[in-house]
Chains A and B, each alone.
Chain A
Amino acid sequence: MKRVAIIGAGSTKHRERSPEQSYREMIFEAARMAYKDAGISHKEVESFVTCAEDFTEGYSIADEYTPDQLGAVLKPMQTVPGDFIQGLATAYMMIQSGLFRIVAVEAHSKYSNIKTPNEVAAFAFDPVYNRPLGFNPHFVAGLEMNRYLNDTGATATQCAAVVVKNRKNALKNPLAAYGAELKISDIEGSEEISWPLRKADVSERADGSVVMVVADADAARSLSKRPVWINGLGWASDTPGLETREWGRAVYAELAAKMAYRMASIKDPAKEIDVVEVDDEYSYKELQHLEALSICEKGTAGKLILEGKIAPNTSGGSLGMGHLLEASGAARTYEVLMQLRGDAGERQLKKADAGLAQSWRGVPTTTGAVIILGNS
């Protein structure tokens, strides 16, 4: 297989609202940063991938509205209705196929523009079996958190420690919207949404856009001083049925990781991976995902985090940065990239040669993706 690298990236700041920018202007800002970072002009990008869902955009066929702001006019362009890491996988396959040498991938969120977000979320549920029951969409996270805590012995206090850590990490991340100095008691005292899930366990949403440029080895070596290599990719989905899915474990993440580790020849992820960014849309998800990715043993993630023995999500995660809908995996990947390039500022880890980013598409999905990046 060819080697494929990420050679440039751009990200707008994540913000609760962004009224002075249309989504087009926001994406243009990220795209321009990414092309500058890659040292290329938009003309050198041969194909484009965007990751978006029409119902969050409020457009039918939203992908038809994306070429202008990416510099993709009169070029091949397509949309993946999935998370950014799935978009990166699409770009990777495009390059492997030999059709293109340089591909740009984009994802964004204009969540603040959705005036009926609960309606949009509820619209994702099965219309026959689930919707008529009329629960707020967060109930799925409540069901899952309860089963996860029950099966592993993890505690709601350990989940609160995830929130404290990630919100604190976000204070050091200039892109993050929700940095805060909190105590575990602040989380435990926050109102219950769908027991055992509390308000503070849930990521706030944000507006933002991320663009990355992916290239084959020849292009990467000639254009970039610091290419970061895509060494592994994986993605998987469990059944969508709320009645039949696995509730205690994130099986989709286990399978996605297995695929990515096999591709990257990783035998012992805990030892071989320096930078770990996982989905934490809900606090317990960080724990469940870390275990699914074999970063730690089943049922140990919460204890290790509470004791400060592992410290994933230096970016602040979705809890600290703000959840970006299908661009959330982009924010995780962006942090891994910055760490591997040594550009993570105050958050910089001493050893950062191999990293992993993982995404989950949120309630009510059972789809996740994993990307393994390396400096070699």
Chain B
Amino acid sequence: MVLEKFELKGTGLKSQAVKDGSVLTMPCNPKLQYSWDTGQAVGRYLDGLKEGKLIGKKCGGCNRIMIPPRMFCELCFKDTGDWVELEDTGKVNTFSICHVNWDASRLPQGALPHLPAVIEIDGASEGMGILHVLGEADPKEIKIGMKVKAVWKTANERAGAITDIRYFKPLR
């Protein structure tokens, strides 16, 4: 923490005073670790990603085809029905052009910005999409509604994670 950037009246605290212990603080570095059970729906979804496929599930109540798949429909509150293999193409629902890293540090001057996007997957119901990232795309040319396609890691590289898709690229 750089204390000097705050304008304080009186004798300002110096960062060094915290570092050398003349001003006391209580540091804490918890080691919190979890390993969540994927269960049926997430487990099957991740298996699909590992195989290079996008898997959804259909609700027999409202007929929505949902991705990511779930074992129950949150609207009908019933078990869902068939597993459905979906296309790895879709259209951009919304996107942003992000100039900071996840920890809020700025990307270096001239670096390509991050391009998070919600992508509605072809074959899934309207509004059903996955959050991912765009690549091979000029930020100035991205549009809401633009068609995109998944660029997958190789079979060897895929681990059963959302990052098995490298990015979605514009379909031209």
Q: Is B20 an interface residue (CB 8 A)?
A: no
Closest to B37 in A: A19
**Nearest CB in chain B: distance from A127 CB, A:** 5
Q: With A and B bound together, what is the CA distance between A2 and B71 in angstroms? A: 38
Q: Is B58 an interface residue (CB 8 A)?
A: no
Q: Is B37 in contact with A58, judged by CB distance below 8 angstroms?
A: no
**Nearest CB in chain A: distance from B84 CB, A:** 19
B28 / chain A contacts, CB cutoff of 8 Å:
127, 131
Given A22-B41, A25-B71, A28-B71, A113 contacting B77 (CB threshold 8 A): no
Q: Is A32 in contact with B37, judged by CB distance below 8 angstroms?
A: no
Q: Is A58 in contact with B36, judged by CB distance below 8 angstroms?
A: yes
B77 / chain A contacts, CB cutoff of 8 Å:
31-32, 35, 41-42, 71
Contact pattern, B 37-54, Cβ under 8 Å of A = 1, otherwise 0? 111111000000000000
Closest to A119 in B: B31
Contact pattern, B 57-88, Cβ under 8 Å of A = 1, otherwise 0? 00000000000001110110100000000000
Q: With A and B bound together, what is the CA distance between A370 and B28 in angstroms? A: 35
**Nearest CB in chain B: distance from A56 CB, A:** 9
- Among A28, A112, A116, A127, residue most surrounded by chain B Cβ atoms (within 10 Å): A28
Choice from B32, B34, B35, B74 contacting A69 with Cβ under 8 Å? B74
Choice from A24, A42, A113, A119 contacting B35 with Cβ under 8 Å? A113
B36 / chain A contacts, CB cutoff of 8 Å:
22-23, 58, 110, 113
Q: Is B33 an interface residue (CB 8 A)?
A: yes
Q: Is B26 in contact with A21, judged by CB distance below 8 angstroms?
A: no
Q: Is B108 an interface residue (CB 8 A)?
A: no
Q: Is B74 in contact with A123, judged by CB distance below 8 angstroms?
A: no
**Nearest CB in chain A: distance from B38 CB, A:** 6
B35 / chain A contacts, CB cutoff of 8 Å:
113, 115
Give the 8 A-B CB pairs with smallest separation, nearest first.
A22-B39, A58-B34, A68-B74, A115-B33, A71-B77, A42-B77, A116-B33, A25-B39
15 more contacts with CB within 8 A, not counting A22-B36, A73-B74, are A18-B37, A19-B37, A20-B37, A23-B36, A23-B37, A25-B71, A32-B72, A55-B32, A69-B74, A113-B35, A114-B33, A116-B33, A119-B31, A120-B32, A123-B32
Show the binding face of A for B, using Cβ within 8 Å. 18-26, 28, 31-32, 35, 41-42, 55, 58, 67-69, 71, 73, 110, 112-116, 119-120, 123, 127-128, 131
